[in-house]
Amino acid sequence: MSDGYSDPERRYDFDRQISEPPTLPPVQPRPTPEPPVQQHHSRNPVDRLTRGLPQPWRVIIDWVVTIVGAILIVLAIKEWVVNPYRIPSSSMEPTLHCAEPATGCEAGFSDRVLANRFIYHLKDPERGDIAVFETPQAAQERCGAGGTFVKRIIGLPGERLELRTQGGLTYVFIDGRRLEEPYIAQDRRDTRNPRTYQVPPGGYFMMGDNRGQSCDSREWGTVPRDNLIGKVFATYWPPNRISIR
């Protein structure tokens, strides 16, 4: 009886088949699961409100809201923070220029200034401040112009202000003491007759630096604090006049 071991060649093949491990199919790697898609939730209220609208409408609404918001911010800044003003007359020359050919103006372009509109809510106005204010009704009657003026604060509440003539020129005295005014050149002083003013509580005496060309508190009286709009702190136009005060 013959078996696999009786024939040497067959025995060799049989042994080799037993000794060699069976060939297994390659192991296929498990597919990596896709991460769950996270839905983005915008915190923008406009996105939330327009979520169900077509994309073009969402873009249009977003632009409209952005533009309107920017306009409101600018208006709020102008109303409560900073506002620009143009110098229309020569009453503050040469500190602030107005444009020729208006009488007494020294420049081709009027100065544009910025006024801090909230500063007087935080502190009291000070002597020497250049302030923007709403004029009393008498300014329209005495000067032929009213509305918003830019002048310098000279007299404070409760003070006695005197105009005295010395050497043919008029100087300001506060409670009997001459006021030093380095911002006024000699040729800008006027020759008005002496006069005394009593600044009432809550009132401010305003004068222009160009005393001979300024219609101010000497003509129409003091300005109530509620009429003060803000303090001029910068000139931003023209470029050669840019400065911080």
User: Out of 89, 151, 214, 231, which one is annotated catalytic?
Assistant: 151
Contact call for residues 158 and 201 (beta carbons, < 8 A)? yes
- The dihedral region occupied by 137, where left means phi > 0, alpha psi between -120 and 50, and beta the remainder, is alpha
Whose structure tokens read 């327009």?
50
- In degrees rounded to 5, what are phi and psi of residue 148? -100, 125
Considering Cα of 71, then 239, then 208, then 177, what sign does the dihedral take? positive
Considering only the C-alpha atoms of the chain, give the largest distance between any 2 of them, rounded to a whole number of Å. 156
Which letter does DSSP use for residue 107 in this model?
A: B
User: Out of 91, 110, 214, 217, which one is annotated catalytic?
Assistant: 91
- Separation CA 50–CA 44 (nearest Å): 10
DSSP string for residues in 155-179: E-TT-EEEEEEETTEEEEEETTEEP
Chain centre distance of CA 112: 15
Active site residue 217: no
Beta strands 130-134 and 169-174 are unpaired
Which letter does DSSP use for residue 209 in this model?
A: S
Active site residue 78: no
Contact call for residues 129 and 245 (beta carbons, < 8 A)? no
Name the residues annotated as catalytic. Answer: 91, 151
